[in-house]
Structure 1
Amino acid sequence: MATPNPLKLEPVTVEDISDITNLWFAAFTDPEIRRVFPDTPGVRKWLEDTNRNDLAEKPFQRYLKVVDTESRNSQGRLRIAAFAKWDLSMPVERGQRYLPWHENMPAQLCEDFFNREEINRKRVMSDKKHFYLDTVATHPDYQRRGAGAMLVKWGCDLADAEKVEAYVDASKDGAPLYAKFGFVDYSNPGEDIASMARPIAI
């Protein structure tokens, strides 16, 4: 008899903001990411404020979490194994992706990093309607347990139902997960980020 999966998909709430911020910094430890998002108290608060603002002001952004129903954090809440942000808007509706950069963040490096992502997304997707997988973060304790796949599948299923394409800026290590869901890598040679698009399901 199969053991029930303790991982469950739920929407993120305002009460989760601190937990998903801590998870984000635990998941993204690449030196290049840490140059853009240094792990300081100020940057952590900036990321919390950004996510709180998105939850309150941007209904087209869907924050989802995968919780472990068999584990609780120090506050007694179910432990969050992974979370994602899917942006369901048209590109022209999206507005500014982040709040103004925190003083601890290298502003020009931030601008260059995210402008490069936007240029590549525009190159691949043009102005077509698509769902954008903005963020997927899995805590190291939950790697290869299916939490990330649950979050990707949610958006892919919605894209199939609404007959739209999907897009993600993937790390080279993360690209195989997205390929399993039909994403195709359209990166230019030498790119360190995979520009991946998923066609409309037929």
Structure 2
Amino acid sequence: MMTPSSLKLEPLTIEDNPALTDLFFAAFTDPELQHVFPNTPGVRKWVEDANAHDILNKPFQRYMKVIDTESKDAQGRPRIAAYAKWDLSMPEERGRRYPPWHEEMPGELCEAFFTKEEANRKRVMGATKHFYLDTVATHPDYQRRGAGSLLVKWGCDLADAEGVQAYVDASKDGAPLYAKFGFVDYSNPGEEIASMARK
């Protein structure tokens, strides 16, 4: 039985990367996202390689994890309940968000989807320096237990300490979590993804 105190926030390491892939596909079960990121061996390797590249080569992208100190994974390590990827760079420093799309992914749809997300972020944030919450994934076993809040609070506290704003592309289901931390929805009417900024 998990207690709230068993959840602990830590920096993520490259050794955690295989577990991230499992968590990613367990967390993102929305049919539209499953179409963009089909759960095939090839796409799973693509996700794992993309995260490994960023963990090792992009120090401005900070990966944080929430572990459950009372539960072990198959390797005997504390189970990862959730993880987040915060991007602390200016947009022009970051480069392309993802590597070229895997052949099993709908490339044109992926390009359109993420180009639109980037356009909305520029519309809302302009050239203002801000931290970008690129990804938050919580395993279904840990949803609504505070793991996501720990990850969001970590980046918001860092943004406050450095006097910068923050931004996240949120699902409509996820939007209330971000609203608790001061994010406001600046989406255009009819948008399925909430463009949320903490100004």
* Shorter-chain TM band: over 0.9
State the distance in 2 between where 1:64 and 1:38 align.
24
SS of aligned partner of 1:135: strand
Does the CA-based 8 Å contact 2:11-2:63 persist in structure 1?
yes
AA of the residue aligned to 1:29 = T
State the distance in 2 between where 1:104 and 1:150 align.
34
State the distance in 1 between where 2:188 and 2:4 align.
42
Aligned to 1:13: 13
Aligned to 1:193: 193
SS of aligned partner of 2:5: coil
Aligned to 1:110: 110
Taking structure 2 as the reference length, the TM-score comes to: 0.98
Aligned to 2:92: 92
Aligned to 1:120: 120
Unmatched runs of 5 consecutive residues or more in structure 1:
none
AA of the residue aligned to 2:126 = S
AA of the residue aligned to 2:127 = D
Taking structure 1 as the reference length, the TM-score comes to: 0.96
Show CA shifts across 1:70-99 (max 9, x none). Answer: 000111011000000000000110101111
Show CA shifts across 1:129-179 (max 9, x none). Answer: 000000000000001110000000000000000000000000000000000
State the distance in 2 between where 1:56 and 1:103 align.
24
Cα offset for 1:4?
A: 6.3
Aligned to 2:169: 169
Alignment of 1:121-136 (within 5 A): 121-136=121-136
Cα offset for 1:127?
A: 1.1
State the distance in 2 between where 1:4 and 1:148 align.
13
State the distance in 1 between where 2:55 and 2:83 align.
14
Aligned to 2:61: 61
Cα offset for 1:30?
A: 0.4
State the distance in 1 between where 2:193 and 2:160 align.
25
Does the CA-based 8 Å contact 2:4-2:145 persist in structure 1?
no
- 1:4–1:119 CA distance, 2 compared to 1 (3 A): closer
AA of the residue aligned to 1:73 = D
Show CA shifts across 1:47-90 (max 9, x none). Answer: 00000000111000000000000000111011000000000000
State the distance in 2 between where 1:59 and 1:193 align.
27
State the distance in 2 between where 1:170 and 1:119 align.
15
User: What value does the CA root-mean-square deviation take over the aligned residues?
Assistant: 0.8
- 1:4–1:170 CA distance, 2 compared to 1 (3 A): closer
Correspondence 1:38 to 2:38: yes
Unmatched runs of 5 consecutive residues or more in structure 2:
none
AA of the residue aligned to 2:152 = V
Aligned to 1:156: 156
